[in-house]
Structure 1
Amino acid sequence: MKDWWIYKGDPAVPTDRRLARLAEHRPPWRVFEGKVDPDHKVPSLDDKQYAADRERGAGYLADDAEIDLVNTALLLRRPLLVTGVPGVGKSTLAYSIAEDLGLGPVLRWPITSRATLRDGLYRYDALRRLEDANLTRMQATSDEQLLDAPEAEEGDARPADAVTPPADGIGRYLRLGPLGTAFLPTDRPRVLLVDEIDKCDIDLPGDLLTVLDEGRFDIPELTRLADHRRTVTVGTEDPDVRARITAGRVQCRAFPVVVLTSNGEREFPPAFLRRCIRLTIERPGEDKLRRIIEQRIGAGAAAAAAAPDGLISRFLERRERGELGTDQLLNAVQLRLAGAWTAPDEIGQLAQATLQPLSGPDAT
C-alpha cells in the first residue's frame, strides 16, 4: 500500500478520511463550485438492490500499476480511459472503485453508434407534455360545456376523470441521464461508467470535452424558463430520486469518477486523449487467474484449477489460439463444482463447451 493511494489504500484508514484527503488535494484548475442541495440523497450501496454491484466490485483484483493510474485520475479529477480485450474486467473496475470508496451505485451509460451527448445528459419527453396539455384543454372545454348546460346545477361535481395540470410542470417531463446525474453537486463524487465508448459516433468524444472540462452543463428547456421559474425539480438516473435544478444549470461540486472503457477498436482525437488518464488492462497470467478464482469461488476451486492439467492451463493454451474472457474460465470452474464433466478424461469436453474463442475459428 502506498501512502498517496485513495483507492485500494490502507483498509485501516476509514473511507471518510481517504475522501477527505482527496478533497484537500484539488488542482487549482479543477475546482468546481456547485452548491450542494442538502435534501438530495444519493442511494447507498448498502441497499439490498445493489448487493450484486457490491459483490462485483469486491471481487475485482487490481494490480499495483492499475491502482496507481486510478489514483492518478482521482487526484487530477480526470477521466480514466480503460482499454483492453473483452473480458479482462474493464467495466468491473468502475464497480470496484465505487465499492472501495463507498461512492454509491455506479451510474452506467452503455454507448451505441447512435448515442449522443444529450442522451447521457438528460431526456425531455416533449411529446408526453404536449399530450397532457391537450388533454387538459379538452377537459377544460368539456367542463365549461357542462356548466353552461341548462340542467347543470351549482355545486355539480367535477367529472371523476378530470385532468388537472401537473403541479411540478415541466419537471415532470425531464429526467437526467447517467452523465447528467453524475454531475449533480454532491459532497462525494459519483462513479460514472461510460461503457464501450469506442462504439460511439465520431463526434461524441469531442462533444464530451466541454462537460468534462467545465464540470457543468445547461438544460435549454429550463434556462428559457429561469426568469419566472428559477428552480425546477426533475427526475434522475437513480430510481425514485429527484433533484432541484436552478436556472437550468447543473454544476458539479465533487468531480465524478469517470471510467470510460474501450476495446481498442478505434482511435480517439488527441484533444480527447490529452484530457484522459489512460490505463491498459493486460490479460491475466496464470497466477492472477488463480487468485481471481480464489477470490470469486474459493481456495479449493482455485487449487484444482491450477493443477498441471487443470482448467487454468487449458484456458491459457486455448487463449493463445483465440481470445478468451476471464469469466469463461470462471464458468468452467463453476460447472465442475456443480458436478459437470468431473471425470479426468472429460476436461477436454468441458473446455470445448465453455472456452469458445471470442473471435476467430473455434479453438479445438
Structure 2
Amino acid sequence: MTDACPFELRPGTAGPAKRHPDAPKPVPYIASEELIEAVNLAIHLNRPLLLEGEAGSGKSQLAKHVAAALGLPFYPWLVRSTSKAQDGLYTYEAMLRLHDVHMASLPRTQARVTRNPQHPMDYVRWGALGKAFRCKDCPAVVLIDEIDKADIDFPNDLLTVLDDPREFCVQEADHAPIRAEHPPIVIITSNKEKGNLPAPFLRRCIYSYIRFPTDTKQLKDILAIHQAAAVSAELTDVAVERFLALRERDDLFKKPGTSELLDWLQALGRALARGDAGSRGTRTRSLLEQLSRPEAPLPCPEVLLKLRADWQRYGPVV
C-alpha cells in the first residue's frame, strides 16, 4: 500500500500491517475518478459494487486492482450456469469423508488418512465468500464475475449472506456460525446476458457503468501502462485511430476490446518482423499506408474480428 492509493477503507477498519499473502500482484489499470468514487462508496456503505460495461472494458480487472492497491486478499468467483449461492460459501466433500471412513477401517491404512472422519470440518472446501468471511485481520476483496450466467434466483440468494449479520452455518457440521469480522469488499460484474437483475438485488448494490475509451489519448494511456511497445509510436497512433474507427461502425456485431487491441499491436509487430531486417522500413511504410486508408483491408483481422458476420464485412478480401 502507498499514500497514493485512491481507495479508502471504512473509518475504523484496519488494513493489513503488511501485504496479505493472498493479495494479488499490482495489475496495470487506469480507473476514472467516477469509478474510484463508486468503489469507495461501496466500501463505505458496505454494499456490493455492481459493474456493467461491454466486454474488454476492465470490469473483472478492477477487483484485482483494488485488492492489489490496498494489499488485501483477493478471492475470485467465476459464476457458471450451474452455480448456486451456496458454492460461494463452501462445498462439502461427503464422498471423501465416506472414503476416509472406509480406508481407516482397513488394516495398516490409518497412516494414509490425513483427515479425521470424526471432524466434519475437515471436509469443508471454502468458496470465495467463505474465505473472505474467515479473514480475521482485514477485509478481503471478492470478485463475483458474470453474475447473470446463473439462474434468476442466484442474485437474491446472495442477499441472505451479504446483508447483516453477514454470517452462515456449515449445515453438515455442529459448528458455530461463521460471521464476517470484516465485511468483504464485493465487486460483481454483469453482461446482462439474461436481462436485468432482480430489483431487490439492484436496490442493495452500488452501480457503475464502465465506458470503453473513445479517444486516442485514453487508449494510448492504457497501452503505456501495459508497456505495449510492439510497434513504433507512429504506427501505434495510426493503429489506434483505425481501431477506434472500426469500433464506431454501426454494422459491427462484436466490438473488439482492450485485450484485442493489445494482441493486435503484437500481431502487427510480428508482421513487421518477418523477412530480412533491410526491408523492415518498406514494410512499415506499407503498413502505415494500409492502416491510414479506411477502405483498405484490415491487417491481421483474425485478432479483432470474432464473429462470421463481422469477418464477412471486414475480413480479408477473397
CA distance in 2, matches of 1:284, 1:209: 33
Instruction: Provide the residue aligned with 1:219 in structure 2.
Output: 170
**Cα shift readout 1:293-352 (whole Å, capped 9, x = no counterpart):** 111115795833553xx1111111111232111111111122344445753333555342
| Contact 2:8–2:43, Cα closer than 8 Å, also in 1 | no
Instruction: Provide the residue aligned with 1:149 in structure 2.
Output: none
1:271 to 200, 225, 239: 200
SS at match of 1:361: helix
1:128 equivalenced with 2:96 (yes/no): yes
1:332 equivalenced with 2:264 (yes/no): yes
1:345 equivalenced with 2:312 (yes/no): no
CA distance in 2, matches of 1:252, 1:264: 30
Instruction: Provide the residue aligned with 1:54 in structure 2.
Output: 25
| Contact 1:79–1:260, Cα closer than 8 Å, also in 2 | yes
CA distance in 2, matches of 1:359, 1:60: 31
> Gaps spanning 5+ residues in structure 1: where?
1-6, 27-40, 46-52, 144-158, 227-246
Compared with structure 1, are the counterparts of its residues 340 and 250 closer, same or farther at alpha carbon in structure 2 (3 Å cutoff)?
Answer: farther
**Cα shift readout 1:4-48 (whole Å, capped 9, x = no counterpart):** xxx9xxx53689x954xx23389xxxxxxxxxxxxxx95244xxx
> Gaps spanning 5+ residues in structure 2: where?
275-282, 292-296
Compared with structure 1, are the counterparts of its residues 162 and 64 closer, same or farther at alpha carbon in structure 2 (3 Å cutoff)?
Answer: closer
| Contact 1:110–1:196, Cα closer than 8 Å, also in 2 | yes
Identity %: 35
1:257 equivalenced with 2:185 (yes/no): yes
When normalised by structure 1's length, the TM-score is: 0.70
Compared with structure 1, are the counterparts of its residues 268 and 164 closer, same or farther at alpha carbon in structure 2 (3 Å cutoff)?
Answer: closer
CA distance in 1, matches of 2:258, 2:308: 15
Instruction: Provide the residue aligned with 2:11 in structure 1.
Output: 23
**Cα shift readout 1:273-296 (whole Å, capped 9, x = no counterpart):** 011000100111222111001111
**Cα shift readout 1:76-110 (whole Å, capped 9, x = no counterpart):** 11100000111110001011101111113x21111
1:296 equivalenced with 2:226 (yes/no): yes
| Contact 1:87–1:326, Cα closer than 8 Å, also in 2 | yes
| Contact 2:53–2:59, Cα closer than 8 Å, also in 1 | yes
| Alignment coverage as a number of residue pairs | 284
When normalised by structure 2's length, the TM-score is: 0.79
Compared with structure 1, are the counterparts of its residues 305 and 97 closer, same or farther at alpha carbon in structure 2 (3 Å cutoff)?
Answer: farther
Higher relative contact order, chain-length normalized (CA < 8 Å, sep 6+): 1
Max Rg structure: 1
**Cα shift readout 1:86-140 (whole Å, capped 9, x = no counterpart):** 1110001011101111113x21111111100111110111011112212333x2x
SS at match of 1:23: coil
